[in-house]
Amino acid sequence: MSSWPTNGKVSAVRCGVETHQCTLVRVFAIADPEEPLVWPKDPDDFLSLVEPPHDADPGNALIYAFLDGELVCLPEQGTPKIPTQDDFRWLDVEFTSKHYMGELRGQSCYAATLNGKLSEGYSSLGLRGFLGRVDAAHFYLAGRAQQIVAWHNEHGFCGRCGSETQAHTTDRAKVCPDCGLIAYPRLSPSIIVLIHRGDDVLLARNAQWPDGMFSTLAGFVEPGESIEQTVHREVKEEVGLDVTNLRYLGSQSWPFPNSLMLGFHAEYAGGDIVCQEGEIAEANWFAPDALPQIPPPVAISRWLIDDFLNSL
C-alpha cells in the first residue's frame, strides 16, 4: 500500500497570552484546500464527553452554534473561526439548546442552536462551506455538532409511544420514560469504492451532478448486509459490473447529513458497464494520465483515487 496522507496533524503553538486565540489562528492559517488535511487515519486530539469536567473554563469554550441551519463563525483573515462563549457575550442571541461535546486539545466544545440576529463581524456558513477551509478537527467537530443538534431536534418525543423523552444519565442518548425506547444520534453507514481494471479506474457521474464531474461509486448499507455485500450490490446496481478482491482502506465521517463512509478498492471481475437509470448519468474507465474532473482532496473519494494512483 502506498503511504497515507497524514499531514492532517497540525502543530500549533500557543502565544502565551491565554486570552488570545493564537493557536487557532495558526491552525487556520495553514489550512489549504489543496492539501489532504481531512484524512482521519490517526487518533484525533478530541476527547469525547457528555458532561463538562469540573475544571473546564466556560468562557474559553468553543461554541459550534447553528442559526437557521448554518454554523456561526467569525471570519478572520478570510477563514472561518469558531467563536468562544466569551465572543457570544456581545451578541444579541439566545441559546435554544446547548450540548457539551468534549475537549479539543483541552478546550471545551459545545454544539448549540440559537435564536436571534448576528452582529456585524459575525457570519454564518453552511457546513459544506467549512470543508477544506478549516483545520480537520474543526470540520469534524462542526459535523459532529450538526448531527447532535439534529438528533436533539428530532428526538424530543418517543418514536414509539409519543411521550416526551429525557436525557440519558450517562450516554449521549434520549430515553422514553414511559416505554424505555432509547434514541442515539443516527449514523448511516455507506460504502464508497474505487474499481480498477489493470491501471484504469472506473469513475461515474451521478445524474444530479454537473457535466464533467466524476467520482467513485457510493451507496448506503441496507439492514442485514455486511459492508462487503453492500459493495457488491451497489456496484452491480449502479454500473452492472462484478468485482473481487475487496480491500478496505479507511473511513470518513461525512455529515451531509449523517453518513459514515467506508472506503474500498475493488478489482474488476466481469461484466459490461450498464448505468443505473436515474442514478448514474455516465460511467467510464479512465487511464491514470487522462482522468476527468474528480473531487477535491478533502473527500474520501479522492483519497481512494490518489491511493490507487500512488500504488502504480
Site for Zn ion, rule CB under 5 A? 158, 160-161, 163, 176, 178-179, 181
**At closest approach, how far in Å is the CB of 6 from Zn ion?**
45
**At closest approach, how far in Å is the CB of 177 from Zn ion?**
8
**At closest approach, how far in Å is the CB of 168 from Zn ion?**
14
- Looking at beta carbons only, is 163 or 229 nearer to Zn ion? 163
| Residue 207 CB contacts under 8 Å (≥ 6 apart), including other chains | 278, 279, 280, 281
- Looking at beta carbons only, is 90 or 184 nearer to Zn ion? 184
Closest CA to 253 of 82, 139, 152: 139
- Looking at beta carbons only, is 184 or 220 nearer to Zn ion? 184
Q: How many CB atoms lie within 10 A of CB 290?
A: 7
**At closest approach, how far in Å is the CB of 161 from Zn ion?**
3
Q: Each residue of 111-144: b (16+ CB within 10 Å) or e?
A: bbbbeeebeeebebeebebbbbbbbbbbbbbbbb
Is 8 in a helix, a strand, or coil?
Answer: coil
**At closest approach, how far in Å is the CB of 179 from Zn ion?**
3
**At closest approach, how far in Å is the CB of 258 from Zn ion?**
22
Is 191 in a helix, a strand, or coil?
Answer: strand
Phi, psi values for residue 128, rounded to 5°: -65, -25
Q: How many CB atoms lie within 10 A of CB 293?
A: 13
**At closest approach, how far in Å is the CB of 154 from Zn ion?**
15
- Looking at beta carbons only, is 154 or 178 nearer to Zn ion? 178
- Looking at beta carbons only, is 179 or 287 nearer to Zn ion? 179
Query: Could you give the residue ranges of the DSSP H alpha helices within the chain?
Result: 22-30, 85-88, 136-154, 227-239, 300-311
Cell digits of residue 221: 448499507
Please say whether the beta carbons of 99 and 152 come within 8 A: yes
